[in-house]
Amino acid sequence: MLKNGFIKVACVTPNLEVGNVSYNVKEIVKLTHDLKSSISVFPELSLTGYTCGDLFYQDDLIKDVYEAIDYFMLHNEANGIVLLGAPLVIEGSLVNAAIVFHKHHILGVVPKRTLPNNHEFYEKRWFKSGSSITKKEIYINGNFYPFGPILFHDYAHNIHFTVEICEDMWASITPGNILALKGANMVLNLSASNEVLGKAKIRRNTVLENSRKNTGAYIYASAGVNESTSDTVFSGHNIIALNGNLLVETEDFATDSEVVYADIDLGMVEFERRNQTNLHDASPVNLDYSDVNFVLNESENYVFEKPFDQTPFIPKCDELASFMKIASLQEYALFKRLKHTNTKNLVIGVSGGLDSTLALLVAVEAFKHLNLDLKGIIAVTMPGLATSSRTKNNAMELMEKLGLTVLVKPINEAVLQHFKDIEHDPNVVDITYENAQARIRTLILMDLANKYNGLVLGTGDLSELALGWCTYNGDQMSMYGINAGIPKTLIRFMIDYYAKTKFKHLSDTLNDIIATPISPELSSTSQKTEDSIGKYEINDFILYRYLNCGDNQERLIYILKEAFKLTNDNATKYVNNFFKRFYSQQFKRQALPDGPKILNVSLAPRSDYRMPSDIKRGN
């Protein structure tokens, strides 16, 4: 499985018989019949079993290994890369090696460099470290193959992997760490790590940390319960990680062969690697390695192991802890700004919509942290030409129950007067008609801030900033943009959890605000934002993929069809509309007020996203 920058990988723990090489290789070949991965990693010494002990010395076992290599090359039915572990004789000594197969050929052989020799491990009794062998080729069954540290490349598909064997991963500086600096975006580890109480957590953390440091994928396949249990037990702890995140993990003591799959997003890896200065600037560490090239076949169809997360900005685990972290980031960001400016008053426009509701709740909590009187929050609702009774009533109920200073400032007369001043026909409902209302509201808030010696708290969110769905020098402007780092889908999540935790007495009102269709209410009471710009869930998904994964438009169309089951035309329309708005509206983001970064991405022009306003992309 390989298509459009995605590659399916697998960890395979086979059912084996220790020392029975003929049985083991036939079981492995049988597993290749159904492998759907482009890269499949078997455990350390998988042809013999890791726990052979002094049987490794015996000529019969080694002869069986070399025969098994030929047998596997002849009968292997996997279309992609397969890595098997085997003891090989090199310079008269045994080496614990990983053999990298591509269909019916050997691409190269990588030796284990770090041999454990303490506690239950005695590898130096049998094996020689690959770090002491300088030759670049080894002889196997009539042919010479690349040997040593190797960086394997499929340049056509941007696949660059290297190999570690078990203990190599635990070294202070690993071969994978070094070759990641040379371009490796995947590290494949053939392991036989035994199980004791507490070790699984350490092993998992080590895999995750190596994938984070390497800015890439780490595929870790470990031996299972069919190894000898004379002194130790193996659990088949298989782990696949990407950029420090766990994709899949099994440790179920499976008694039969087990295959664990995951999808690696190579496009995301490369985008992240281009952004990582710790890779660009790392101090060089020398490792004499070879390059080996290969080419994999692309798939006609790609079947993903898991559905795409349609709302990737919303936490899916430890939700309460995530809510508390985000709430603290926003609340203490505002706490610091109020403390720094010695401001006792805050002016905020409250519409009864999602954005102003979250900003208001954050403001209340920040005032509590500062022990300030909540009457210092000047909550202003400004009904206009198209304000609905539902949003107005929710705004009033919210402000009054919170015990704030409530101001009601209808803007109809001011807007109509403004239309006269600029000679605009109020019957012409156009962009002027809508933006005039937004700017009148901002004018009122700014002047009230002067009157009360306070700050105007902005309410606009990250999704609106991405799409430019805000009025320049209207709702785009404030004295502090508290929601600038929060996308629309996450705002719903935050209000929901505020209703469940800190503001239970307002839960009915807050839940109704969440359920209210999103609307600027600038031209009619039935105006719905998503009718104009599309569903926020899809736009936020595009925003996430673009900022986190660097997806181009072609790839986004492909992913949208998979994630939301859109037609090609609808997916294309969403992507084209997003980028048309995103690039053309940069000028609004260039003039953003200060606001806190909350997620690992931001559109703030002073920190995360620097782009000229007059950039030209696409048609």
Cβ atoms of residues 381 and 409 within 8 Å: yes
Cβ atoms of residues 239 and 204 within 8 Å: yes
In the chain, the amino acid numbered 409 is: K
Cβ atoms of residues 40 and 72 within 8 Å: no
Distance CA(195)–CA(216), nearest Å, equals 26
Distance CA(203)–CA(239), nearest Å, equals 9
Considering 27, 44, 164, 272, which one is annotated as catalytic? 44
Catalytic residue flag (residue 112): yes
Helix axes 389-402, 507-515, angle to 10 degrees: 150
Beta bridge partners of 95: 88
Ramachandran category for residue 316: left, alpha or beta (phi over 0 → left; psi -120 to 50 → alpha): alpha
Helix axes 354-369, 507-515, angle to 10 degrees: 150
Q: Is 314 exposed, middle or buried (CB count within 10 Å of its CB: 0-12, 13-18, 19+)?
A: middle
Considering 11, 52, 166, 549, which one is annotated as catalytic? 166
Letter string b/e over residues 548-587, b meaning 16 or more CB atoms within 10 A of that residue's CB: bbbbebebbbbbbebbbebeeebbbebbebbbeebbebbe
Considering 8, 112, 128, 213, which one is annotated as catalytic? 112
Among candidate residues 480, 454, 488, the one with its CA nearest the CA of residue 372: 454
- Give the DSSP H/E element, type plus range, for residue 214: helix 199-214
Distance CA(322)–CA(313), nearest Å, equals 11
Cβ atoms of residues 437 and 384 within 8 Å: yes
Distance CA(459)–CA(359), nearest Å, equals 6
Q: What are phi and psi of 246, to 5 degrees?
A: -80, 120
Helix axes 431-451, 412-421, angle to 10 degrees: 120
CA dihedral over 259, 263, 269, 270, signed as positive or negative: positive
Distance CA(516)–CA(389), nearest Å, equals 12
Residues noted as catalytic? 44, 112, 166
